Amino acid sequence: MDAIKRNILLAVTPFATWIAMQSLLPATAWAYAARTVATAIVGIICLAAFKGFRNSKALKDIAGIKGLMGLGWGLAVAALWIFPDSFEWYRTWLCWPLGSLPETAVASPYDPAVCGWTLTIVKLAGSAFVIAPVEEVFFRSFLYRWLQNGNYASVPLSRFDLSAFLWTVLLFTLEHDRPLVAALAGAIYGMLAVRHGLGCAIVAHVATNLALGLHVVYHGVWGFW
C-alpha cells in the first residue's frame, strides 16, 4: 500500500468504525459503550501508526492561548445548541425530522434510571472524548484537505478553500439532527482548524460535547442524546 492510501485509511478508519457500529447496533447504552471502546481502540492504533503525528502541531495547539480559545468557542457552540431548544417552533421546524416535535424531557436508554450511572457516564465521556476528536480528524483534518487534493496530507490545513469548506460543513451538518446549529458549529470548528490548528478545533468540539452532555444529565433533556 502506498503512503497516500495508507494515510487516508488511517484518517478514515476510526470514523468509519463509529458510523458502521452505529448502523449495525441497536440504540442502547450498552451498544454505545461498545462503539465508544471500539472506536477509541481503533483511533489509538491509527494515531500510533500515522507517521506524520510526530511532526503534528495538534498537541501544541491544545496548550496555551489556542487551547483557551478553543474552550471558549466550544462553550459558545454549546450555548447555540441549548438555548434555541426552549422554543417549540425551533424544535418543530428546525430539527430533523421536520414537522415533528423531538422530545427533550423524556427518559432515554442513557438515563441512569434506565441503564445505571456507569453507562450514562460512558455515554458522556464517549461523546466528548472519543467521537468529538474522531470527527475533527475526519472532517477538518482529512475531508477538508482531501476535497482539495487526493494526497490530503500534502495540503496545509491553513489553506482556505471555500468550496471544500462549504462541502465539509454540509456533510458535517447531515450527521446531526439540528441542522441549523450543526452548520454553525461546523463552520466555527472549521475556521478554528484553518486559522488556529486542528488541536484548537478538537478542544472546541470536546468542550461543546462535554458541556452539552452535562446539561443533558443535569436537566434530564434526553432529546439531545
Q: pTM of the entire structure?
A: 0.93
Q: What value does the mean pLDDT take over residues 55-80?
A: 85
Residue 11 has pLDDT above 70, yes or no: yes
At 103 the pLDDT is 64
Q: Is the preceding peptide bond at 26 cis, omega within 30 degrees of 0? A: no
The pLDDT tens digits for 72-106 are 999 999 999 999 988 888 888 888 887 776 665 55
Q: What is the mean pLDDT of the chain?
A: 91
Rg of the chain over Cα atoms, rounded to whole angstroms, equals 17
The pLDDT tens digits for 128-151 are 999 999 999 999 999 999 999 999
Other residues' Cβ atoms within 10 Å of the Cβ of residue 138: 23
Q: In 3D, which of 177, 170, 169 has the Cα closest to residue 225? A: 177
At 44 the pLDDT is 94
| All structural domains of the chain with their residue ranges | 56-224
Q: Is 25 helix (H, G, I), strand (E, B) or coil?
A: coil
Phi, psi values for residue 104, rounded to 5°: -125, -5
Per-residue DSSP letters for 104-173?
A: SSS--TTSHHHH-HHHHHHHHHHHHHTHHHHHHIIIIIIIHHHTT-SSGGGS-TT---HHHHHHHHHHHH
> What is the separation of C-alpha 59 from the centre of its chain, rounded to a whole number of angstroms?
18
Residue 67 CA to residue 62 CA, distance in Å, equals 4
